[in-house]
Amino acid sequence: MKKLIAILSLALLPLTGFAAGGNVALESADIDLTDHASLQRGAKYFVNYCQGCHSLQYFRYERMQDFGLSKEQIEQNLIFGGHKIGEQMKTSMPALDAAAWFGTAPPDLTLTARLRRGGADWIYTYLKGFYVDESRPFGVNNVVFPNVGMPHVLMELQGVQEATIETDAHGNKHVTALNLAKPGRMSVEEYDQMVRDLSAFMTHVAEPNKLDRQRLGIWVMLFLLVFFVVAVMLKKEYWKDVH
């Protein structure tokens, strides 16, 4: 029983982490899982900017063929360190070193889009929500995940944001606005699209068969509707003498 309670506690950690982040209004990522070009760009951004610390240990490189990449494109552009295309997308950072540098090992991100309330919208808003906070170890904070122990790895692309912070009647501080104090390599529109692509890719990774499930669900509902009509007609036929 104690082991079961421990497992449930660990499973709920991501949810409690979100709850600690407050009730921030999430921006709409407006992703399109049928847009293969967007998913391909998102895969590129993840490998270049995220996989150094975070893994996708429940997702294999070869599954990127689902959105139009060939085996050769994956092997030549998205696999490094001698990994094979049939392997999971794991990070090369040793967990012990990561814990020493960041205080804890960066989490696996395979299921982030399913664990976080809002899914792609949470990821999208989170990646846009970093701002300067000199009190934090890495000099940044986040509106969606306050006091997150993660540097803003996309700062060179987005630029530096400063927060407008107000204090309510109870003495609690709230971020009311973010202002771009120093532009990055990308324009605001370009960065928004990049984050949208990354959010789409992570949503696909969390459930690669989502579109198939939705298509199958429509056929299941149609079958149940037809079956319901047939069942009602049979019921009337069987019970007509009784009534």
What type of residue is 142? Answer: N
pLDDT at 243 (0 to 100): 59
Q: Where are any strands of DSSP class E within the chain?
A: 56-60, 88-89, 130-132, 140-142, 159-167, 173-183
What's the pLDDT at 128? Answer: 97
Total-model pTM:
0.80
- pLDDT tens digits for range 192-233: 999 999 999 999 999 999 888 888 999 999 999 999 999 988
Nearest to 200 by CA among 41, 63, 77, 24: 41
Closest CA to 175 of 184, 166, 183: 166
Element at 124 (helix H, strand E) = helix 120-128
Q: Give me the tens of pLDDT residue by residue for the chain, a chain 243 residues long.
A: 444 334 334 334 433 333 334 578 899 999 999 999 999 999 999 999 999 899 999 999 999 999 999 999 999 999 988 889 999 999 878 777 777 777 788 899 999 999 999 999 999 999 999 999 999 989 999 999 999 988 999 999 999 999 998 888 888 888 989 999 999 999 999 999 999 999 999 999 999 998 888 889 999 999 999 999 999 888 888 887 775
Which pLDDT score is estimated for 7?
37
**Per-residue model confidence (pLDDT) at position 20:** 37
DSSP string, 168-213: -TTS-EEEEEEEEEEE-SS-HHHHHHHHHHHHHHHHHHH-TTHHHH
Query: Element (H or E) spanning 18, and its range?
Result: helix 2-20
